Amino acid sequence: MIEFKFLGTYKIISNSVDITHKFSLKDKGLLCYILANNQYTFNREKLANMFWDNYKRESAYSNLRYTIWHLRKIFNEHENDIIIHSHGKNVIEIEEKNVQIDLREWQRLTETYISGKDNSLDILKKISNTYNGDFLKDFYIYDNLEFNDWVFNMKERLQRFYFEVQMDLAKIYSDNNEIRESINQLNKLIKIDPLNESIYYAIIKYQYKSGNKVAAVNTYRNLKLLLRKELNISPSDKIQEFYHHILKDEFKEDFVENTYIPVKNPKNTPNESEKKKITFFVSEDSICLKKFHQEIAKQARTNKEYLIDICQSPGKRINYEGIFEILDEVHDYFEHYDASRKLEYDDIVSSIKSSSSIDYYLFNNVTQIIDVYMKTAIIIRIWNFHFLDSKSTDFISFLYRNMKYNEIQIKIIVDEKWINERMNFFIESFSKENGFSQIVTI
């Protein structure tokens, strides 16, 4: 029996013995990729390109062969029934017997719930209890951008569904007047996303519903202190309004769920399709690309729309370079349009730039600044998307999806000569979003 644990800390356990240390980072990355994709055959070239993209073709294939040999050697030493076959030059096949993978079990449970086959409290509890942490927590291969992107997107997708499950669990417990257990489920989310106001909003409402007015007030005040300390902002208007209702003991409306996304100014908030627009300008022809540049260059900064330009010059980018370009452009906004906020903004940015914390903390802080502080629609123009660094690409995706209050447009120029699977995946992901459009010329 061999067990693979991908939720939380990566572990490989053979017959109750932890053998994770016997595998290299590339070993573990390759194993995770082929086991998590729920398929049994893989293209050799794709795997070589994913894990050795900076190598020449022959070296990449040689490294892949060695990694497969090393995996076979370890599995044979431990008499495990997991076999990797090579079929000619193009296909790699994996054969499994007596293998347990926590991710597959979790996905099986979630599919049962999503399909409506089982919507019981028991299935939700199983989904919650088998989520032992974020996908491949703290696992990173330095020189494998495509693999790291795949991990990042898997992590976000799984975490997003876990949040939904916890919110559903909290509602069921609340409906059964098990308020303490309801709040326990929400506190699990606080540990993952300690600055998410919608979770606190739900906690405050459940506490108030139970008649524990003091606890609800204390939760609000703790949230207020936390947001002031970490982001130098106040709670959303929606939470403040509810807080004042609690103080006056006048809150008489029915208890409405669906509290996951708070609305800052409901009366003035545009529809989702009006708030967000993302346009890709794609071509491999230099004349067409020049026309794209001329087209989006026509737009100018106004009082209602603020332009942010990044990646204007060609060449490979270092991680976070695009994010810091955005921060510098936002600095100019406060310097010219909102001087009273400039010192606050500079303090926040200083802490962000000097932070060695995880990506989510940085991404969330920058998004909050742009979404809450800037009182104008945002237009981000990415002039050479094909050169943008990977971290900034991830951030652009995060920013677009997590903007709640402000309007945002993103205009992206892509030279198709440089396009790769990672960029295709990025474009394809946004093709399902509201506000997406693509202009392609040959």
Q: What are phi and psi of 383, to 5 degrees?
A: -80, -30
Distance of CA 368 to the CA centre of its chain: 15
Element (DSSP H or E) covering residue 367: helix 359-368
Q: How many CB atoms lie within 10 A of CB 15?
A: 11
Residue type, position 191, single letter: K
Domain final position from 232, 267, 302: 267
Indicate the number of domains in the chain: 3
Q: Is the pLDDT of residue 273 over 70?
A: no
In a shared domain, residues 122 and 40: no
Q: Considering the chain, what percentage of its residues have pLDDT values greater than 90?
A: 27
pLDDT at 353 (0 to 100): 72
Could you tell me the CATH number of the domain that includes residue 42? Answer: 1.10.10.10
pLDDT at 91 (0 to 100): 74
Could you tell me the CATH number of the domain that includes residue 428? Answer: 3.40.50
In a shared domain, residues 348 and 379: yes
| C-alpha distance from residue 60 to each of 35, 43, 150 (Å) | 21, 13, 19
Q: Which residue has the tokens 């876990």?
A: 162
- Whether 427 and 280 have beta carbons less than 8 Å apart is answered as yes
Q: Mean pLDDT over residues 89-99, rounded?
A: 75
- Whether 422 and 149 have beta carbons less than 8 Å apart is answered as yes
In a shared domain, residues 95 and 146: no
Distance of CA 7 to the CA centre of its chain: 16
In a shared domain, residues 92 and 175: no
pLDDT at 207 (0 to 100): 87
Could you tell me the CATH number of the domain that includes residue 158? Answer: 1.25.40.10
Q: Considering the chain, what percentage of its residues have pLDDT values greater than 70?
A: 90
Rounded Cα distance between 356 and 96, Å, is 40
Q: Is the pLDDT of residue 259 over 50?
A: no
> Most confidently modeled of 81-85, 106-110, 334-338, 344-348?
106-110
In a shared domain, residues 383 and 314: yes
pLDDT at 412 (0 to 100): 93
Lowest mean pLDDT among 40-44, 230-234, 248-252, 337-341: 248-252
Per-residue confidence band for 408, with pLDDT thresholds at 50, 70 and 90? very high
Q: How many CB atoms lie within 10 A of CB 30?
A: 26
Q: Is the pLDDT of residue 257 over 60?
A: no
Q: Is the pLDDT of residue 80 over 70?
A: no
In a shared domain, residues 60 and 191: no
In a shared domain, residues 117 and 259: yes
Convert the pLDDT of each residue in 156-165 to its tens digit: 999 999 999 9
Q: What is the DSSP string of 230-279?
A: HTS-PPPHHHHHHHHHHHHT---S------SS--S-GGGPPPHHHHEEEE
Rounded Cα distance between 130 and 7, Å, is 8
pLDDT at 105 (0 to 100): 92
Per-residue confidence band for 269, with pLDDT thresholds at 50, 70 and 90? very low
Q: Which domain holds residue 41?
A: 2-102
Domain final position from 102, 117, 151: 102
Q: Mean pLDDT over residues 123-150, rounded?
A: 90
Convert the pLDDT of each residue in 362-384 to its tens digit: 788 888 888 888 888 999 999 99
- Whether 403 and 367 have beta carbons less than 8 Å apart is answered as yes
Q: Mean pLDDT over residues 55-66, rounded?
A: 89
In a shared domain, residues 175 and 243: yes
- Whether 321 and 384 have beta carbons less than 8 Å apart is answered as no
In a shared domain, residues 234 and 121: yes
pLDDT at 43 (0 to 100): 86
In a shared domain, residues 254 and 372: no
Per-residue confidence band for 361, with pLDDT thresholds at 50, 70 and 90? confident
Rounded Cα distance between 209 and 175, Å, is 10
Q: Which residue has the tokens 């010059």?
A: 313
Tokens of 303: 């009082």
pLDDT at 5 (0 to 100): 95
In a shared domain, residues 152 and 31: no
In a shared domain, residues 137 and 238: yes
> Hey, is 426 helix, strand or coil?
helix
In angstroms, what is the C-alpha Rg of the chain?
A: 24
Lowest mean pLDDT among 70-84, 106-120, 392-406: 70-84
Domain final position from 102, 134, 154: 102
- Whether 333 and 306 have beta carbons less than 8 Å apart is answered as yes
